[in-house]
Chains A and B, each alone.
Chain A
Amino acid sequence: MRWLRSRIVLLLGILVLVYTFVPIFIVVMMSFNKLPSEQSKIYKFYSFTWDNWLHPCAAEGMCHGLVLSIKIGLLATLGATILGTLAAFALVRHDFAGRSATNVLIFLPMAAPEIVMGSSLLALFVAAGFAGQLGFWTILIAHIMFCLSFVVVTVRSRLAGMSDTLEQAAMDLYATPQQTFWKVTFPLVFPGILGAALLSFSLSFDDFIITNLNAGTTTTFPMYVWGVARKTVPMQINVIGTMMLLVSVLIVVGSELRSRARQKALAG
């Protein structure tokens, strides 16, 4: 009884954690599901098969959307990471008029509901006469816009938490400002930038609400899932869902192992 009382909070926490994994088990399980016919509308497990994993692109149109989402995700990440990193340096390391107003401007896109952001951007595109040209470029513009703030916040906190004594030491040792930046500052900030880029990619890759309003007839992966959700869901989307989980877990575990190895090297 005492054992239970001292661990009750931890057990409850683990229970919540298990609850967050319930749909994940379903996704993995459904990736091995064989639909009895092309018109199986009821979303349930029928029978086991490897087919979905062997032929993920057999679902018509899915891989096209997937490639498009990856392309947009990479470009949006590149754009948002560059713009956001520059802005984060400006906010932490430089003084200029309107700094606090800028901080508010950066915060707003994270606080606004997605549906409002998406619809206002659509209103602009329509007013500017681009209603017929919605597609790749308008999606990319929107994705850079909503990833930007997250990049600034992530890189800014890394920069702010970093003491500049190492940089001063480099300067004392006659390093030029460029050398100091590339040999000292940049490597120290890099983990923050990398984190921001990963976050951007996953935000862009998974976005549906803003994309749907500004995509016209272009179909990204989430839009494909949305489209088939009303008809018959091809089980291959669960293969993609499982792979997304595996890739991100590998990235997280990899970076954790690396930082542990580094800490050990420093300690030893």
Chain B
Amino acid sequence: MSETVRKKGIVGYVLLAPAFVWLLLFFLIPFYSLLATSLFNANGSDFRGYTMVYQWSNFSGVIRDYWPQMARSLVYGAIATFQCLILGYVLAYAIAFKAGRWKNLMLVLVIAPFFTSFLIRTLSWKLILADDGVVVNSLHFVHILGPNGHLLYTPFAVVMGLTYNFLPFMVLPLFASIDKIDYRLIEASNDLYANPVVGFFKVTWPLSLPGVVSGTLLTFIPAVGDYINDQLLGSTQTRMIGNTIQALFTEANDYPAAGALSVILMVMIVAMVLFYVKRAGTEDLL
């Protein structure tokens, strides 16, 4: 950080105003609108209009009707985030400390696949996990999967898709954080007879915690709300909260229920973020 002297006066407000107004109009006010929608009388319709009646029962209603989808989203999101953490850590560590002159190339390679459309990549997994595909056939061959076992349209496929699609959100913050670690500290721990495992947990891991925290949040939040992976790779048995909200909005036109579910998702995520950040003790997420 350089020691820039900040100018006082009106110019700052003028520069900020357009972005501020945009976010106010199309980000903050919509949240209020969503909150209002969640308390409408559910007997209205988007054609006749809804009436604002503070119908709190919308909330208990959606919790009763959709708690399996909510629980499933959190579980799938958590497993996918954990898998991303393991894969992402290995990759970020390898790039930061082991890649040498290939560092930049490897970083580019991490991001490159994700420039191909999200949806098209997810469709590809459909082919990879298909019943007559290489993966399923090999698993049949080694008897890990029973003769009638499938991968596609199962929870496994959904979690697999989430892990794949959100991996870069984990790798990049982890890399930023691991790359900052002074490698001499790790060498010092070796000199002091720490074996690599102890050295890792006593030195590397604690120093990389800021990256772990922001990577975990950046992966978990979109993964829980995502419905693309579930829709393309899952079945009606694997539906998540995102699918439910989207179907209530665009197919059932039940705006109050959809609004209530969105509010619940948001509240759950904000609560978890606050808890997690407090536990991990990292305030500087950005």
Chain A residues close to B by CB (< 8 Å): 7, 9-10, 12-14, 16-17, 19-24, 26-27, 30, 42-45, 82-84, 86-87, 89-96, 102-103, 105-109, 111-117, 119-124, 126-127, 131, 141-142, 144-145, 148-149, 152-153, 160-164, 202, 206, 208-209, 212-213, 221-222, 225-226, 229, 233, 237-238, 240-242, 244-245, 247-249, 252-253, 256
Contacts and interface: CB of A to CB of B under 8 A. Distances in A.
Interface string B1-38: 11011111101110110111011001111110110110
A212 B246 contact: yes
- Interface on chain B toward A: helix, strand, loop, or mixed SS? helix
B221 A113 contact: yes
Given A96-B13, A160-B1, A226-B119, 17 more contacts: A17-B109, A20-B109, A23-B116, A44-B132, A93-B12, A105-B23, A116-B262, A119-B249, A123-B255, A124-B29, A142-B26, A148-B23, A209-B225, A222-B118, A226-B228, A247-B115, A249-B108
A149 B94 CA distance: 30
B136 to A, nearest CB: 12
17 contacts: A23-B113, A43-B123, A43-B126, A87-B19, A93-B7, A94-B11, A96-B13, A96-B16, A111-B217, A112-B221, A113-B265, A115-B225, A115-B242, A124-B30, A160-B1, A160-B4, A256-B108
B123 A17 contact: no
Contacts, number: 278
B250 A213 contact: yes
B74 interface: no
B164 interface: yes
Contacts of A141: 26
A13 B93 contact: yes
B280 interface: no
A153 B118 CA distance: 23
B255 A126 contact: yes
A114 B218 CA distance: 12
B256 to A, nearest CB: 10
A255 to B, nearest CB: 10
B46 interface: yes
- Interface on chain A toward B: helix, strand, loop, or mixed SS? helix
Contact of A20 (B2, B164, B228, B232): B164
A115 B265 contact: yes
Given A93-B7, A142-B26, A252-B108, A20 B262 contact: no
A24 B108 contact: no
Interface in B218-232: 221-222, 224-228, 232
A233 B8 CA distance: 57
Interface in B241-257: 241-242, 245-246, 249-250, 255
A119 B34 contact: yes
Given A105-B23, A119-B34, A148-B19, A94 B117 contact: no
B128 interface: yes
Contacts of A116: 34, 225, 262, 265-266
> Which range holds the interface residue count of chain B?
35 or more
Contacts of B190: none
B4 A113 contact: no
Contacts of A164: 2, 4-5
A21 B1 CA distance: 36
Given A13-B91, A152-B19, A43 B119 contact: no
A120 B34 CA distance: 5
A213 B249 contact: yes
Contact of A84 (B19, B112, B227): B19
Contact of B19 (A44, A86, A112): A86
Contact of B121 (A23, A119, A148): A23
Contacts of A115: 225-227, 241-242, 245-246, 262, 265
A104 to B, nearest CB: 10
A206 B125 contact: no
A241 B120 CA distance: 7
A96 to B, nearest CB: 4
B12 A90 contact: yes
Given A113-B269, A117-B27, A241-B116, A95 B8 contact: yes
